[in-house]
């Protein structure tokens, strides 16, 4: 078994999923993958079954958090050392998985594929929400995460366990903020994100605005009331 599992959450990605998986199989066979079909209403699951892709087919739509957790449970029970969140729309590029893994092996627990780590700050209307989330994380944790809204994130074995076995661990910026407070070591690696190959993003302008507002509220307020995770308690015990 390979040490890295690529977790591909997919909801209504019939226009993209075959090309995404074929590229992984043909050019990056050193990595394992699992497509997690999140109750798609289109032919996403049918295509995966017809093509013989590795598929975890959820009977209902759980949303990104539940879908990704299903993939992390799979990674945990199969014993993978690393798992990476990888979109099924063709935007995430597999050539950056190896650099992210090498960064992880320096001792980090989460590595984010960042569009902005070595780039000039982008204050366009499209990215202003991400900039505010970056500032909120820095304010509450003291750590700068240049691209907190990046969906391309790699997790080590301990983080896989956290996501697999605990509730309320969505793959979102507020969870990154929470884990930073628990002592997680996070790094960023520069990546390029491609344009969506086909289909439509669910993040329409109003949906994106509500998402950003929810993340800011969660980071600045709600995360302060979450209990310490087992990860932090274990680390405190080891430090004694």
The pLDDT tens digits for 14-31 are 999 999 999 999 999 999
Q: What is the rounded average pLDDT of the residues 129-147?
A: 93
Joined tokens for residue 68: 């990704």
Write down the pLDDT at residue 144.
95
Indicate which CATH number applies to the domain containing 111: 3.90.550.10
With 60 as the cut, is the pLDDT of residue 150 above it? Answer: yes
Q: What is the rounded average pLDDT of the residues 189-213?
A: 77
With 70 as the cut, is the pLDDT of residue 5 above it? Answer: yes
Query: In this structure, what DSSP letter does residue 220 have?
Result: H
With 90 as the cut, is the pLDDT of residue 38 above it? Answer: yes
Query: In this structure, what DSSP letter does residue 123 have?
Result: -
pLDDT grade, residue 224 (50/70/90)? confident
- 3-class DSSP assignment, residue 154: strand
Q: What is the pTM of this model?
A: 0.88
The pLDDT tens digits for 54-99 are 999 999 999 999 999 999 999 999 999 999 999 999 999 999 999 9
Give the DSSP H or E segment for 121: none
Write down the pLDDT at residue 4.
97
Write down the pLDDT at residue 142.
95
Query: In this structure, what DSSP letter does residue 167 have?
Result: S
Q: What's the domain count of the chain?
A: 1
With 70 as the cut, is the pLDDT of residue 235 above it? Answer: no
Q: What is the rounded average pLDDT of the residues 24-52?
A: 97
Mean pLDDT for the chain? 89
With 70 as the cut, is the pLDDT of residue 220 above it? Answer: yes
Range of the domain at 78: 4-239
- CA-based torsion, 34, 37, 43, 46: positive or negative: positive
Contact 187, 108 (CB under 8 A): yes
- CA-based torsion, 228, 234, 235, 240: positive or negative: positive
- CA-based torsion, 55, 60, 61, 63: positive or negative: negative
Instruction: Give the integer Cα–Cα distance in Å for 177 and 227.
Output: 14
The pLDDT tens digits for 172-187 are 999 999 999 999 999 9
């Amino acid at each position: 078994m390979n040490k890295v599992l690529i977790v591909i959450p997919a909801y209504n990605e019939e226009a993209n999923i075959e090309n995404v998986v074929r590229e992984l199989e043909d050019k990056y066979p050193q990595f394992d993958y699992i497509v997690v079909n999140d109750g798609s209403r289109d032919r996403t699951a049918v295509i995966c079954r017809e093509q013989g892709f590795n598929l975890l087919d959820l009977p209902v739509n759980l949303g990104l958090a539940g879908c990704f957790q299903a993939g992390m449970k799979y990674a945990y029970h199969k014993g993978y050392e690393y798992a990476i969140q990888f979109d099924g729309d063709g935007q995430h590029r597999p050539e950056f998985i190896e650099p992210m893994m090498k960064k992880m092996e320096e001792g980090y627990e989460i590595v984010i594929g960042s569009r902005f780590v070595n780039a000039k700050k982008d204050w366009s209307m499209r990215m202003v929400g991400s900039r505010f989330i970056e500032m909120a994380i820095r304010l509450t944790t003291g750590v700068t995460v240049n691209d907190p809204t990046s969906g391309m994130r790699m997790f080590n074995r301990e983080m896989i366990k956290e996501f697999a076995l605990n509730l309320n661990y969505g793959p979102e910026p507020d969870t990154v903020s929470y884990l930073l407070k628990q002592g997680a070591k996070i790094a960023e690696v520069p990546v390029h994100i491609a344009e969506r190959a086909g289909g439509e993003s669910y993040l329409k302008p109003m949906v994106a605005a509500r998402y950003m507002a929810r993340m800011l509220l969660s980071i600045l307020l709600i995360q302060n009331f979450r209990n310490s995770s087992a990860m932090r308690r274990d680390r405190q015990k080891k430090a004694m």
